[in-house]
């Protein structure tokens, strides 16, 4: 689980929407608690976030959100196969 103040958790949405090059530029200028494992944790949180979105959409019975979340999950899984 992410800890309070874990920058990797904070950056996972940015990775999902803007890509790793964007995250790397931010990390190059970040003066916080960033170490060699941060990018791996960012990737992990980003990869698992779509699963949480699918589960939430099912719970609240939001068919639009479910469709979007499933598309995001599929896109992420296809990217991992490369």
Please state the pTM of the whole predicted model.
Answer: 0.67
Mean pLDDT across 6-28: 84
- pLDDT score at 1: 52
- pLDDT score at 3: 56
Identify whether the C-beta of residue 15 lies closer than 8 Å to the C-beta of residue 42. yes
User: Which tens digit of pLDDT belongs to each residue from 65-77?
Assistant: 999 999 989 988 8
- pLDDT score at 32: 64
Identify whether the C-beta of residue 34 lies closer than 8 Å to the C-beta of residue 27. yes
Percentage of the residues of the chain whose pLDDT score is greater than 90: 28
CA neighbours within 13 Å on the CB side: how many for 6? Answer: 15
């Amino acid at each position: 689980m992410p800890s309070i103040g874990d920058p990797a958790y904070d950056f996972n949405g940015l990775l999902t929407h803007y890509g790793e090059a964007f995250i790397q530029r931010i990390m190059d200028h970040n003066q916080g608690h960033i170490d060699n494992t941060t990018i791996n944790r960012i990737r992990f949180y980003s990869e698992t976030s779509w699963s949480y979105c699918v589960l939430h959409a099912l719970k609240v019975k939001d068919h639009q959100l479910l469709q979007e979340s499933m598309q995001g999950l599929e896109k992420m899984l296809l990217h991992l196969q490369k």
